[in-house]
Structure 1
Amino acid sequence: MKLLHLNTYEKAGGAAIAANRRHQALLKLGVDSTLAVVGKETDDPTVHSFYGKIGKVLRPFTQAPDYILPRLYRGKDETLFSPALWPTFLHRKIAALPADIIQMEWIADSFLPASSIGKLNKPVVWTLQDAWGLTGGCHILKGCEGYKAECGNCPQLSSRRSTDLSRIAWRAKKRAYAKCKPVIVTPSKRMCRLAKESSLLCDCTVKHIPNGIDEQQFFPVQKEIARTLLQLPADANIVLFGAMSANSDKNKGYDLLLSALQHVKNSGVKNIHCVIFGATHGEPLPFPTHYLGTLHDPVSINLAYNAADVFVCPSREENFPNTVLESLSTGTPVAAFGIGGIPDIVSHTKTGYLAPAYDTEELAKGISFIMQDTVRLAEMGKVARTVIEEQYTIEIVAKRYLELYESILENRV
């Protein structure tokens, strides 16, 4: 079987990480897998770059329409909106690559427009790492239910017109999906429900398969060793927070973390230190804070999780966050809001603590609950690791995808 993964980036972002993990796992299972991206970031021979030197120079010009069009709406909010209307003719390059199955991942940022999706000539499986595939351009829903109809009157664009950019992009996707008929895979149960409710995907087959984690890269290490190597205090209660653009992306909830930690401080808990990766500075937290910056290698990231007593995920909206998988794989419990796909992974009071959405006082209780009893903390860590080993290893997940691919090819004959 020849499998072609399509993702805008090779390494940058949670979707790229999830896609790369699955790609590598399928290679180990004997699948002839290729990951095709805008531009290679490594020397991995199984990764294909669509853009050469000239293409990289010209790419900003092809990105310009997708960047400019949403900003013609004066009240547009700060979240990413991708109309994907400008043709790139990438389907021609895709057709030249050998593939029995095309596995689409995160294809926004002017990578694969709707017109090219509709011209893919092989069976397509599409893993929705965010909501973009089921909307007219939004990646995060923010409570909007326009995806159930035909979008339009888009609140993220501050549009009061039914035939706005979101409706136009919705129609382009509808035409494309009708032609290529993708099989949809959703990492979280919530995204599975949204996909089935979506007017765009109502005629598509929808499957639920979670993202996986390489449990051999993210594994328990003695806390004392991790803290020594990262030069963190040995005797402190350490709260870890991290994400891509950790304190600049409002959706990641840095302000909610700040509020929760203030509640923790007001409760009288002492000797707490905060550790943050994915940022080099931010609004001061109420406890001593250590910034690790952007961590690129799994060894450093693994040490960061192991150095912590609790990982906090205060995001406003999440599909199936890699950070939560990574933390649980190292045996570090997670305190988070019970939103998106997080309840799929975190078991309340067993492997972490789930607070009602955006209730920072309850999130603070969860942080304290995890840290205040060392025996319970150790037990939660053991249970977390066991859950990962039994349900979420990348090998288990890759085998489920392989079964899906084989069934698609068998039914096609």
Structure 2
Amino acid sequence: MKILHINTHELFGEGARAAYRLHKGLNKYGIDSQILVRYKQSYETSIQSLRRTFLLQSIFSINLLTLSELVKNINPDIIHLHWITDQFINLNDLIKLNKPVNKNTAREILNFEIDKQIILSGVVSYTSDSHKGFDLLIKALQLLLTYKYQLGIFRSSNLNDTLKKLNAKSIGGFHDDYSLKLLYNAANVMTISSRQDISR
């Protein structure tokens, strides 16, 4: 897994220091972590400066790289935006930096089995609300070979014995866009079972 931290400064300010500590902590645990900054003060090779890149490219007449192009060359699995003011990143850069999460990376973060087909289902009350038709999904899954897939149940924390036999994993609730992005990128298919939709 490769993680790229983006911050305006390398060492100046609390945000820069926090990003640096996080970066070094990830390196300590063997994770490929890099920092991209606008203003660099050290000679550390894991920290790149967009400003220095512009300067060197201008001197040697190489085509200038934009921020999004430089990030694309680094090709991180996760981009962590820290303190990015001082005209370092504009809206167009942010749009270009948004990309799908690598499936295996998403599975590692969510603790899914890498070599299985991941089936998602989000049910709040799968045992008490027959309208949800969750029992129909269970019957369908029982036709599959359990060693080939893993069932991810979100929005519910309890698994009954039947679900445990189906190699199900409870992954709780998700309430932010990034977590949902990880979840959907980790999955092969999303199932929505229902007998009848009722407006309440």
TM-score where L is the length of structure 1: 0.23
TM-score where L is the length of structure 2: 0.46
Q: Would you tell me which structure has more strand in proportion to its own residues?
A: 2
With CA pairs under 8 Å and 6+ residues apart, which has the higher RCO, 1 or 2? 2
